[in-house]
Amino acid sequence: MKNKSLFKKHMKTFNELYDKNISKGLLDVYWDALDVYSDEECEKGFKEIIKSCVFFPKPAEIINLIEKANKCKTPVWY
């Protein structure tokens, strides 16, 4: 993901949706985990999060949902 303001908007939505506040340090971990994906790929994955996650997702769950939403056969970080 390249658009940091879009990322922050989604993370704020997740914070409210899942009643969770994450620290700046943890926010940086999420940002770093998504750096290999395009904004469009992340947008599709974020929609999947809202539809399928009961709890605030960990970075690995977000990555899995991004790949599922974009029908990636091999993770792009390999």
Specify the pLDDT at position 65. 94
Phi/psi at 13 (5° precision)? -60, -45
Residue of 50, 52, 46 lying closest to 30 (CA atoms): 46
In the chain, the amino acid numbered 46 is: F
**% pLDDT > 90, the chain:** 87
C-alpha to C-alpha distance for 55 and 75, rounded to whole angstroms: 23
C-alpha to C-alpha distance for 33 and 27, rounded to whole angstroms: 10
What is the average pLDDT across 21-44? 95
pLDDT > 60? residue 34 = yes
In the block, residue with structure tokens 């809202």? 50
- Mean confidence (pLDDT) of the chain: 91
User: What is the band of 76 on the pLDDT scale with cuts at 50, 70, 90?
Assistant: low
**% pLDDT > 70, the chain:** 91
What is the average pLDDT across 18-35? 95
